[in-house]
Amino acid sequence: MQKRRWKTVVVVRKVLSLALGAIALVALLSVHIHPGFSPSAAITNLPTTHYEIGYQNLQTEGSWNQEFSRPHLTKSPQSKLNNASGALDLDKLWKQPPNRDYAPCVTPSPYYTSPPESRGYLLVYTNGGLNQMRAGICDMVAVAHIINATLVIPELDKRSFWQDSSNFSDVFDEAHFINSLKNDIKIIKKLPKELATATRAVKHFRSWSGVEYYAEEIASLWEQYQVIRAAKSDSRLANNNLPPDIQKLRCRACYQALRFAPKIEAMGKLLVDRMRAYGPYIALHLRYEKDMLAFSGCTHDLSPEEAEELKAIRENTTWWKVKEIDPIEQRAKGYCPLTPKEVGIFLSLLGFPSNTPIYIAAGEIYGGDSRMGDLRSRFPLLMNKEKLATAEELEPFTNHASQMAALDYIVSIESDIFIPTYSGNMARAVEGHRRFLGHRKTILPDRKTLVRIFDKIELGTMQEGKNVANRVIDIHKRRQGSPRKRKGPISGTKGMDRFRSEEAFYVNPLPDCLCQRESQYRNSSSISR
């Protein structure tokens, strides 16, 4: 009996030894077959597409928006993730805000009527950059309806800082614009020849005016003139207290009729598809450009020579009224665009890992490669138009600032997250459009609070650790594009300052153009109309 037990033990030992030997042999073979495999290597093996390779061959080296090599991606100290909890953290970062069942509602009411035969022609000279002009054009559609005018296709601004020679049809789909609004106003491409030399009433329409001003004061000009010319188009209509059908018309004009030209739409879609190849992406409106820094008087981290250059631009631009600006005070109040370095710190504190794809929606960054270094060191996967497309593909748009801005607009609208570093015209337009499309995630940095944190980090009195990250995350929980009604004027403000303090209509078209759909959790009495 004892001998049998001993034999059994010996057999079991032999079997176990053979099994262990087999396992060791398999492990040894796998090392020789895959000598270079590692998790980090798997991350860096992103697909290399033909257009990126071709573009690199055409460009000179040395600029952040020209050179591009696949980076070795690691996670930032603030976003060390592990297993299930890490996946949950990333899901939370990219999760869209609840839209509370809001949906566009821009159909005219039963009381809305198409205007009778027009009384004359409205000529519009738009002013500003792309998004300032877009808002102005949409306001002029509403004005044409109010004063019963035939709208002549607006003239785009060719005299501003950007010196863009583009015509309306170069930037927008002219035929779609005319056809989409045919039940609201009549639109023609050119003024009739017989009126080419007719005397015109040239008016600077009063800023932030209501229906009464246009229906009475401006419409009375038809008694003497057949043609009225609007010398400026921006901020000509009030944000609030307009008839619901006029507000809905503004939204139809902005979000349905004013579509970009087919060639721009096609190129924009191509850029979006190429960004999507890298996964969910952030569109970063990095407004760190010469014109914005000169206009705002912001010189933080700039050399004395650069500060003087910007001051000279401001002094020589006649329509910029404020010439003397205290840059330290300006920044402390949160009136300056975040620098590329500050953006890198901000994104890290929010918890974005360093392999996050980021599309830079901007023109030429002031200071070029040297200014982008800190941001690029944290987030190597920085892309823009010039990286995603070849020089040949971009050639039709390159010398036209409005068309290039339109491409950035499309990629920003379609991004998983949009982050503007300054609340300028594009930032506000994209935010409003994303709200209209379903309250897509838009993170609005609290610049006033952030610059105090950045300064403490710079001085070494605060560390980029968990406590600071939690504070920044908490500050921005309610700044991510969730549905809310448009903000009215700041209490105590009067006159023009009262209108200036209001949230602009195109920043947030709720409640005028968004209605809550009935759901199983909400009875009909709570639905906004």
Note the pLDDT of residue 239: 97
Of the chain, the end-to-end C-alpha distance in Å amounts to: 91
pLDDT tens for residues 68-123?
333 334 344 444 433 454 566 888 999 999 999 999 999 999 999 887 889 999 99
The string of DSSP letters for 313-378 reads: HHHH-TT-------HHHHHHTT-SPPPHHHHHHHHHHHT--TT--EEE--SPBTTTHHHHHHHHHH
CB burial class (10 A; 0-12, 13-18, 19+) of residue 233?
buried
DSSP symbol at 260:
B
Q: Would you state the structure tokens that stand for residue 127, as one six-digit string?
A: 């002013």
- For the chain of 529 residues, list the mean pLDDT of each consecutive stretch of 10: 46 51 44 33 33 30 40 40 56 93 96 88 95 97 97 92 88 98 96 93 95 97 97 94 97 98 98 97 96 95 95 92 95 97 97 97 91 96 97 96 97 98 96 98 98 96 95 96 95 91 97 82 38
* Cα–Cα distance measured from residue 17 to residue 456, given in angstroms and rounded to the nearest whole number: 62
Q: How far is CA 177 from the centre of its chain?
A: 23
Q: Pairing mode, if any, of strands 200-203 and 227-230?
A: parallel
Note the pLDDT of residue 116: 80
Note the pLDDT of residue 90: 85
Question: For the CA atoms of 374, 476, 415, 376, what is the dihedral angle to 10 degrees?
Answer: 10
The pTM of the full predicted model, rounded to 2 decimals, is: 0.82
CA atoms lying within 13 Å on the CB side of residue 384: 20
- Mean pLDDT (the chain) is 85
Non-local CB neighbours of 37 within 8 Å, separated by 6+ positions: none
* Cα–Cα distance measured from residue 361 to residue 365, given in angstroms and rounded to the nearest whole number: 10
Beta bridge partners of 417: 282
By three-state DSSP, how is residue 519 classified?
A: strand
Instruction: Report the side by side order of strands in the sheet with 227-230.
Output: 187-188, 149-152, 120-124, 227-230, 200-203
The string of DSSP letters for 116-149 reads: -S-SEEEEEB--SSHHHHHHHHHHHHHHHHHHTE
Distances (CA, A) of 379 to 70, 192, 237, 348, 374: 12, 55, 42, 9, 9
